[in-house]
Amino acid sequence: MALSNPYRPGAGHRPPYLAGREREKAEFERLLDQDVILENMVLTGLRGVGKTVLSEEFRPMASKNGWIWAGSDLSETVSVSEDNLALRILTDISVFTSSIVVEEHQRPIVGFTSFPEKVSVKLGFDVLKQIYENIPGLTSDKLKGVLEFVYSFLPAERNRIIFAYDEAQNLSDNAAKDQYPLSVLLDVFQSIQRKNIPFMLVLVGLPTLFPKLVEARTYAERMFRVVFLDQLDADSSKKAIVKPLESSEYPIKPTDESILLICDVSGGYPYFIQFICREIFDIWIQNDKASIPIDDIVVKLDTDFFAGRWARVSDRQRELLCVIAKLNNSDSEFSVQDIVSESQSLSKPFGSSHVNQMLSKLAERGLIYKNRHGKYSFAVPLFGRFLRRQEEFMQEVYPSKPPGRLF
């Protein structure tokens, strides 16, 4: 019987062994102990760092501590209007409230006429939506009203709810269309938390998320505890590699040299560890003495993970990205002036205003993000390494072209 490959480099797939993240889980445990919600959580980091996987780890932790878990992914359609956001929240909470039975005669339900005798009503989606539509005022007033109403019917031992939303960087305000779903979300939860209603937000997304929250409402800085997921340290990376193979089912034992190589090439990013290990496992299961074709694996990684993003940028944008990749600080953060200075060796260097415009476009494409201190970073892990490999390839293919002017 063939051995199944234990490594899982899929989007949001839980790895066979979740290495590290003890600090982040301890921080979440601390937030769960709040009687009055003073802090919500923003879980952020680059793609492939394990945000979705960790947020799924939070779910059973919350349940164990008596919290109800509601939420889903925030698609771009949620940002279309404030009503779409409200419907998203009503849909998510109705999964739990649909089992709650209330009696109309006992306690009037907003938007329903009184009945001469007791009538049982379940707080399913249709009822919540009717309550929402019959509350006067703005979208935020309606949503606050529904959440406060739901809270009034929750049993004391089950009245704490976590609203968890992945891909939260998709949520944004749109002043041109007079729609402010992000601001509504913040306003609603700030309001109900001030009334000591224990409903907590957990927002998961790319590093662009928190600056958007602060831009929408400056008090967001005080509403959230920001947890930034970075790559794994050396010890956790090693565990992510070797732990899945500790079962007696697997006769393969990677050498220390193999482990060091995987740690180096992956940069400690969980997705890359899973990707590389999956490829190596398939090779070793056929011949455990085979050497690791790391160059071929990197080419496949480039094709599967980076190439689609690279294909969506123009030649001039590629040139700018390659300039950034040459910076000594390209893997941390860089400024517009850093790029302008580095580009002076080009036949057509970049000016400050042009760099600002192009960085804005690259941010829209999810390749760059601007942090709160006004500097920029790559939004894709190990993107600088990929760019340097691309430049080396182009120099081999087009040796007559001068360095820095490859596209």
pLDDT digits (tens, 9 = 90+) for 187-227: 999 999 999 999 999 999 988 889 889 989 999 999 999 99
Q: Are residues 288 and 314 in the same domain?
A: no
Q: Rounded mean pLDDT of 107-124?
A: 63
1 CB contacts (<8 Å, ≥6 apart)? none
110 belongs to a structural domain: no
112 belongs to a structural domain: no
Measured between alpha carbons, how far is 67 from 103 in angstroms, rounded to an integer?
A: 25
- Order of strands, sheet of 224-229, starting from the edge strand that comes earlier in the sequence: 67-73, 160-166, 199-205, 40-45, 224-229
DSSP structure class, residue 118 = -
Cα atoms found within 13 Å of the Cα of residue 58, Cβ hemisphere only:
34
Q: Where is 311: in which H helix or E strand? A: helix 307-311
Q: Are 278 and 5 in contact (CB under 8 A)?
A: yes
174 belongs to a structural domain: yes
Q: Are residues 221 and 239 in the same domain?
A: no
114 belongs to a structural domain: no
Q: Are residues 343 and 218 in the same domain?
A: no
Q: Among the three residues 307, 327, 359, which one is the final residue of a domain in this structure? A: 307
Our count of domains for the chain comes to: 3
8 belongs to a structural domain: no
Cα atoms found within 13 Å of the Cα of residue 139, Cβ hemisphere only:
20
For position 111, what pLDDT does the model report? 55
Q: Are residues 370 and 245 in the same domain?
A: no
For position 402, what pLDDT does the model report? 46
For residue 385, the domain's CATH number is 1.10.10.10
Measured between alpha carbons, how far is 120 from 100 in angstroms, rounded to an integer?
A: 10
Q: Are residues 348 and 240 in the same domain?
A: no
pLDDT at 116 over 70: no
CA-closest candidate to residue 41, choices 15, 67, 19: 67
For position 332, what pLDDT does the model report? 85
Lowest pLDDT segment from 102-106, 173-177, 297-301: 102-106
Query: For residue 96, which phi and psi values (nearest 5 degrees)?
Result: -90, -45
Look-up: residue for tokens 């164990």? 64
CA-closest candidate to residue 186, choices 161, 152, 222: 222
Q: Rounded mean pLDDT of 85-109?
A: 80
Q: Are residues 173 and 80 in the same domain?
A: yes
What distances in angstroms separate CA 141 from CA 179, 180, 193, 254, one per listed residue?
Answer: 15, 14, 14, 59
Q: Are residues 64 and 174 in the same domain?
A: yes
pLDDT tens figures, 5-52: 888 887 777 888 888 899 999 999 999 999 899 999 999 998 888 899
Measured between alpha carbons, how far is 220 from 226 in angstroms, rounded to an integer?
A: 11
Q: Are residues 313 and 323 in the same domain?
A: yes
293 belongs to a structural domain: yes
Q: Where is 40: in which H helix or E strand? A: strand 40-45
Q: Are residues 261 and 361 in the same domain?
A: no
Q: Are residues 277 and 325 in the same domain?
A: no
Q: Are residues 301 and 377 in the same domain?
A: no
Domain that holds residue 272: 235-307
**Confidence grade of residue 291 (pLDDT, cut at 50, 70, 90):** confident
252 belongs to a structural domain: yes
11 belongs to a structural domain: no
Mean residue pLDDT across the chain: 85
CA-closest candidate to residue 166, choices 201, 196, 134, 200: 201
Give counts: helices (H), strands (E), the chain: 17, 9
**Confidence grade of residue 60 (pLDDT, cut at 50, 70, 90):** very high
For residue 171, the domain's CATH number is 3.40.50.300
pLDDT tens figures, 153-180: 888 888 899 999 999 998 988 888 899 9
Q: Among the three residues 185, 210, 229, which one is the final residue of a domain in this structure? A: 229
271 CB contacts (<8 Å, ≥6 apart)? 9, 47, 48, 49, 50, 305, 381
For position 143, what pLDDT does the model report? 95
Q: Where is 23: in which H helix or E strand? A: helix 22-32
pLDDT tens figures, 334-391: 999 999 999 888 888 899 999 999 998 998 888 888 876 778 999 888 888 898 887 6
Q: Are residues 210 and 148 in the same domain?
A: yes
Please list the alpha-helical segments (H only) found in 37-138. Answer: 51-64, 82-97, 125-134
Q: What pTM did the predictor assign?
A: 0.84
Q: Among the three residues 307, 334, 352, which one is the final residue of a domain in this structure? A: 307
**Confidence grade of residue 118 (pLDDT, cut at 50, 70, 90):** low
Q: Are 135 and 142 in contact (CB under 8 A)?
A: yes
